[in-house]
Amino acid sequence: MIRSIGEILPQAAAQFGAKTALIVGDKRFSFNEMEALSNRIANGLTALGVAPGERVTLYGPNCWEWLVAYYGIAKTGAVVNPINVMLTPEEVRYIVEDAGSRAIIASPDKGEPLLDMKGGQLADVILWGEEVPTGATSFNDFLAKGSPDFTAQSVEPSALGAICYTSGTTGHPKGAMASSTAPPASARVSAALWIRRAITCLVRSVGVSRGASTCAPSLGYCAECFSTSPRASSTSAAPSTPSSCIDWIHSSMTG
pLDDT per residue, tens digit, the chain (255 aa), is: 677 888 889 998 999 999 988 888 889 999 999 999 999 999 999 999 999 999 999 999 989 999 999 999 999 999 999 999 988 899 999 999 999 999 999 999 999 999 999 998 999 999 999 999 999 999 999 999 999 999 999 888 889 999 999 877 778 889 999 888 887 777 677 667 655 555 555 555 443 433 334 444 433 333 344 444 444 445 555 555 555 555 555 655 555
* Residue 81 CB coordination number (10 Å): 26
What domains appear along the chain, each with residue ranges and CATH number?
5-20+27-184 (3.40.50.12780), 198-254 (no CATH)
Res 241: pLDDT: 54
Which residues 6+ apart lie within 8 Å of 229 measured at CB?
A: 203, 216, 218, 235, 238
Res 197: pLDDT: 57
Res 170: pLDDT: 77
Whether the full predicted model's pTM is greater than 0.95, yes or no, is no
Helices (H), ranges, the chain: 8-16, 31-48, 64-75, 89-99, 108-111, 139-145, 182-194, 223-233, 242-254
